[in-house]
Every structure is written in structure tokens, then in C-alpha cells.
Structure 1
């Protein structure tokens, strides 16, 4: 089966990591050669070192490296070249073992972490059916207790969920000012902090005011987007976070507070 959207620059509305994803009878996978430029590596040997470090990390976690980062030869012109077939976990481990100074690596880490978490959540195994009346009663009691725990948790989370919904527009985007309000900080301080993290780039508007904007790699990862808006007189850029982008900011902010 051919790669999904191999010309990943042709669809800016989809994460480039999704657009280079491939699939065959074993499921989805990523080509290391396709992944290399998206992680900011210009030299294959430098990137191959990250893959080999990832294989060691996979082995140390008790898993088989060749199942997640298997070597393969492929044609390149009239010659053969080395490549790796990476599972989602394998690609995530490659990103985790990449150069932390590269913003592209941070964006890849975020993408694969989010997608891996989504896959884990969706792959919940169905419970075994009770074999007798006693097992059925035990299962029922456990379900009742579980439902009560969920009700209590939902009561705690409901105000937070409602607050997110209130700030999300019809496109599912949240403005940076709204996020700054939820974090109880000025929006200027929020975007300056994101500049320090390398997530935003420092920028001034044409009027000389602070107008920091998300870097392209984080936009491609599906965390942020920039929209051009008009107040009837002038057009200007506005940064928005997606749901995953807002989660990314809150996670980093919690880590900052704990440090």
C-alpha cells in the first residue's frame, strides 16, 4: 500500500506526520527516511544515530527492537540504501532520542505522545463474560462502584470542562487570551513564555506591539493555527490553540509550576 498523502506539503490542514504515515498488512508504520526531514535532520547518519539510540531504549524497556524499528533495504535510483520501518511506538522512541535542541523534535514528541495515548484509550479490551451467578454478582457490584466513582469524578471535572467549552469557538479553537485568563496571567507573559520554550517565535505587529506567533513546526503538529482576521479597517494575524494545543500549554505550565 502506498504512503498516505506522500506529498505532505500539499495538505497544510493535516499533520505532516499523518501525511507520511504508511500502512500494510501489519498495520500503520512510518519510514525513517520520510521522518528524517520532519525532525530537522539534514544528514542521514546523524538521524540514524537517533534511531539506533531508540532501539537501545526499546530493548531496555523489555521490548523487541526489531518489532518497532526494523532495518530494511530499499531502492534509491540505481542503488540500495538502508531504511527503517517504524511502528508508532518506534517513531515515538526515535523522537524521544532525537536532538532536544531541535523544535521539530519537540513537535514530533508531542504528536506521537498524543496519538499513542489516543490509541491506548481506544484499545480497551472487552471484559470477560461472567461464568456463573456469583461472578455476575461480583461484576455487577464492581460496575456499581465504578459508576459511583465516575459520578464523583465528573462532578469535579464538570466545571473545568464547561469552562473550556465556553472559550472554544465553532471551529474548535481557543484564543491565546482565553488560555491566559484560565492560567491567570497576562497574554503577553504567556506568549513570551512560549517564545522561551521555542514554541512561539518573537514577533512584533506592524503597529509595534507584541504579537508572538506559533512556530510552523507546532502548527504542522496540529497544536496551533494562525488566522487572518479583519476589524473592518485593517487585517491582522491571530494565534489560536487547538484542543491538543491547549492541553500542551497546560501540561507545560503545570511542569513549570512544579519545578
Structure 2
């Protein structure tokens, strides 16, 4: 586990830049990176432990995507040197690549507008970086070749426009609530329906979608029935707070639509 000082690398962003995420971006011999401690307030987190939970979820998501979490969100001790004569303090920090910072944002609290802003920033900037890395195409050698290339480009743009029109409504409806696995927390859905999550899951039990059960970890809780999991409406994940493991239910976008539609039918009855 490497160690770095809080002033070991100088922020690479322009202080006059339009994005605060650019202003805290750092660079070293390995390239650009972000300090989790610098990123924490920009994502709206006051407590470090709450923010660290988002980082640990991101590390799990990175591993599940086939990447190595230590390459993108490496845990490192940090020495902070106060401006006063007080002794230096050691604390935990994480060094995040652009992908690592994006995954942290994707696993943050979706109710925080700062998290949504970070998701947008890192998604757009990552796409720009990918586009810039693509080699420039060879120039046409004659007039006929140039016309063929232009026609191909027009067709490509038309196809992309048509695809975007189809995808746009799907991409915007639940995007801000989804985690890195494309799942939506039941608390977020309950908040949209303006009711406590326990009240919502009790209602789903009455509806026959959920059932009361005893978790394999010993707690009594409401969980979606197996048929609604296999149908792609819900997923149950095993999570941990570092001390205790527990099961957590999530909805897919289709499941979230289903819950909202059932609630609308209930309200109209």
C-alpha cells in the first residue's frame, strides 16, 4: 500500500476553468488522477465514512466489470501537515483515475444534485478522452473517394440520430437513480412516491410482489418474490458495512416502472 503526502502532486486544472472537477484534477508521472478527499465535498458529502462507502461500492463495481480496483481506486494512507505547529496527521485517502472517479460518482447517493453533476462531468469527459484517442481517418485521395466518404458520413449521422431518438426517453427516465450495475435503490423509488420505504415494501407484500422472510443473515425483512426476480423486475444483492453482511433489494428500470404503475392504479382506485 503506497503512501503520499497531501501536497505531493500539484492540481493540474486551471483555476479559471468552468468545472470544479477540473480544478482539483492532479497529475503525476503516471498521468491524471483525483484525490478522494478533494472529491468528497464536490459530491455533497460531509462525513468521510459515508463517502468511503460509495468508494468501496465503486471498487466492487470495478472488479465486477473485469477491471482491477487497485488500478482505479487505490487505498493509500496520507500525511496531512497542518499550517500550525500541530503534529502531522495520518489519514486514509484514495487515488482515483478518471474511470475510478466516474465509478465513485455512479455509486454515490443519487438524491444529491452534486452526485448527478459529477456523473455528467466524468461521463462527458471520459467520452471526450475516448474520442480524442481515436486515430484520424485517412484523407480521401480523389474527388470520387471524397464523395463516397461524405455519403457514408451522412448515412452514419442519420443512423445515429434515429438511434438517439429511440434511446433518449429510456436513458433519461431512471438514469440519475441507477448505480453502476443499472439498478435502482428501493429508497429512491419510495422517495418518489413520497412514502417511507418500509411502508412501500409492506404495500408490495400486500400486493403479492414481496413476501416477508427471514434473511439468511438472521434479520426479518421484506424481499421480492423469486418470480419477480427471475422476471427481471428486482435483484437482491448481499452487501456489507465492514462488520455485518445483509441483503438489499434493488429494482431494475422495468421493476421501477412496474412499482410506479401499480401505485398509480392504487391511487386511482
Structure 1 length-normalised TM: 0.49
Tell me: higher relative CO, structure 1 or 2? Use CA pairs within 8 A at least 6 residues apart: 1
- TM-score with structure 2 setting the length: 0.48
